[in-house]
């Protein structure tokens, strides 16, 4: 596809799939709330709980997952409430567990490889590393949850 065609194709895709674009925006808003939960728990555990960033990351990620599941079920995919939580929550948890693995890998690589090169120091180093990891995992989580956890909605 030629460069001038690209914006038109994206616009057409967005207009043709307005409901999915709205869902993605809602998913991103819920994700932003989850990110606030994630960063808050991460920083509390590192700064006051005595954990290192990589040890605190799974706990903060889990807190964000629980927040995201609740808000996605209530707002992003409200029709999903017709399905049983005991089916959806394990699906959501599995997708997000894989997401945690991706998050942890990217977080560790950014923290130990990228931040020293860029010269960032504690606590900016682990917060920027976390932001990079969250940004990547957002697309994994939306894509797989949309195709599996919230399919057919």
* Tens-digit pLDDT profile for residues 79-98: 888 888 888 888 988 998 89
* pLDDT attached to residue 18: 83
Task: Give percent of the chain with pLDDT exceeding 70.
Answer: 88
- Residue 71's alpha-carbon distances to 26, 30, 98, in angstroms, are 10, 6, 20
* pLDDT attached to residue 11: 57
* pLDDT attached to residue 4: 56
On whether the CB atoms of residues 49 and 63 are closer than 8 A, the answer is no
* pLDDT attached to residue 142: 82
On whether the CB atoms of residues 59 and 117 are closer than 8 A, the answer is no
Q: Let me know how long the chain is.
A: 153
- At residue 120, φ and ψ (nearest 5 deg) are -80, 145
Sequence-separated (6 or more) residues with CB below 8 Å from residue 138: 28, 31
Q: Which residues of the chain have pLDDT under 50?
A: none
For every residue of 46-96, which 3-state class applies, written as one string? HHCCCCCHHHHHHHHHHHHHHHHHHHHHHHHCHHHHHCCHHHHHHHHHHHH
Sequence-separated (6 or more) residues with CB below 8 Å from residue 102: 133, 136, 137, 140
Q: How far apart are CA 140 and CA 72, in angstroms?
A: 15
């Amino acid at each position: 596809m030629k460069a001038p065609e690209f914006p038109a194709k994206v616009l057409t895709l967005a207009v043709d799939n307005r409901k999915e674009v709205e869902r993605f925006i809602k998913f991103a808003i819920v994700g932003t709330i989850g990110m606030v939960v994630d960063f808050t728990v991460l920083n509390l555990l590192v700064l006051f709980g005595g954990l290192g960033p990589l040890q605190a990351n799974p706990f903060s990620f889990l807190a964000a997952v629980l927040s995201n599941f609740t808000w996605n079920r209530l707002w992003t995919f409200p029709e999903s409430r017709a399905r049983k939580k005991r089916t959806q929550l394990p699906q959501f948890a599995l997708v997000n567990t894989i997401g945690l693995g991706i998050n942890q890998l990217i977080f560790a690589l950014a923290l130990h490889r990228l931040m020293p090169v860029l010269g960032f120091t504690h606590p900016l180093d682990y917060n920027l590393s976390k932001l990079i990891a969250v940004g990547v995992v957002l697309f994994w989580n939306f894509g797989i949850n949309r195709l599996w956890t919230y399919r057919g909605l």
